[in-house]
Amino acid sequence: MPPRAETGTKVDFSRTGIARYIQLASLFRRRIESGLWASGQQIPTVDDLAAECGVARATIRQALGILEDEHLIERHRAKGTFVLERPRDQIWCEVATDWSGLLMSRRDAVIEIISDERGQQPTYVPHQIGELAPSYRRLRRRHSRLDAPFLLTDLYVDERVARRIPKKDLVSKTALRLISEIPGLQIKNARQTLTIGMADVETAERLDLALNAPIAIVHRSVVDSAGCLVFTGEGIYRGDAVRIDMKLK
């Protein structure tokens, strides 16, 4: 049996109003992601973790329950708790940082339309570029791969150009590819912003995540040659299935 990972770290849980077991789940999840708790390895016992973190054993069990629900660990009676082997291609969804990469469709991705509304206005405009269109078509979509959801999107497309999008493209193309391939549309400016957050109740349910699990939030905006904001949207990616690569030189 491989040696168990020991950390000896003392954790201060008094700095936030988030429940201790959720904070611990985040801490333990990070140990797995960093390799401190390696795949196939037995992790410290509940008693050891409770002593290390200064919390009750029941709190440790709650935290481990979250990781078990996320299929990160497996608990065996009388044997202990082990980190599950993870497929090499689990982190497969890349958030591109260049225009050509943003247009690429995800391998084996399936797109489901959750809602489709006309005559809308965006409730939040992340980038102060371009003038608002008179009205927008709002599309909410969920992207999945191998029956596992990995991305939620909330898209606002200028209704004057949205009518030129073929219906089949709505369930087969990424948001920016939809926009870039609209006949006659010339793109003048585009922006992307990425932030890191935690899943709320709705996001957790739609992406099959634990509450407060890490997520990556991407806002994108596109302005046409006339200076109109023809597209603005938000994408929420599962934090455990996304990778961001940036060429530095």
What CATH number does the domain containing 138 carry? 3.40.1410.10
198 and 135 co-located in one domain: yes
**144's tokens:** 């999945």
pLDDT at 32: 85
Neighbours of 135 (CB within 10 A): 15
Residues 156 and 228 in one domain: yes
User: Do 187 and 218 fall within a single domain?
Assistant: yes
Q: Give the C-alpha separation, 143 to 133, whole Å.
A: 27
Predicted TM-score (pTM) of the model is: 0.69
Question: What's the confidence (pLDDT) of residue 102?
Answer: 52
Confidence bin at 247 (pLDDT 50/70/90): low
Is there a single domain that holds both residue 153 and residue 220? Answer: yes
* Residues 142 and 233 reside in one and the same domain: yes
**Does 75 fall in a domain?**
yes
In the block, which residue shows the tokens 């927008």? 136
2 part of a folded domain: no
Residues 145, 62 share a domain: no
Higher pLDDT, 120 or 35: 120
Would residue 249 count as lying in a domain? no
In a domain? residue 97: yes
Same domain, 63 and 126: no
110 and 64 in a common domain: no
pLDDT at 14: 62
Look at residue 6 and tell me if it is in a domain. Answer: no
**Domain membership of residue 114 as a residue range:** 93-243
Closest-CA residue to 30 (of 17, 43, 19) = 43
Q: Is 76 exposed, middle or buried (0-12, 13-18, 19+ CB in 10 A)?
A: exposed
pLDDT surpassing 70 at residue 186: yes
Return the pLDDT at 25. 87
Has residue 8 been placed in a domain?
no
Same domain, 115 and 70: no
Residue 186 is assigned to a structural domain of this protein: yes
Cα separation, 238 vs 198, whole angstroms: 10
Length of the chain as a residue count: 249
pLDDT of residue 146: 80
Average pLDDT, the chain: 84
Picking from 15-24, 28-37, 145-154, 160-169, which range would have the lowest pLDDT averaged per residue?
Answer: 15-24
Residues 34 and 146 in one domain: no
Residue 91 pLDDT: 44
Q: Is residue 169 part of a domain?
A: yes
Residues 116 and 59 in one domain: no
CA distance 207 to 228: 32
pLDDT value of residue 6: 46
pLDDT reported for residue 88: 45
Q: Which residues pair with 110 in a beta bridge?
A: 144
Checking if the pLDDT of 176 tops 70, the result is yes
Closest CA to 239 of 222, 217, 214: 214
Instruction: Output the domain CATH number for residue 71.
Output: 1.10.10.10
How many domains does the structure of the chain reveal? Answer: 2
Grade residue 93 by pLDDT with cuts at 50, 70 and 90.
low
**In terms of domains, do 148 and 48 share one?**
no
Q: In this structure, how many other beta carbons lie within 10 angstroms of the beta carbon of residue 8? A: 5
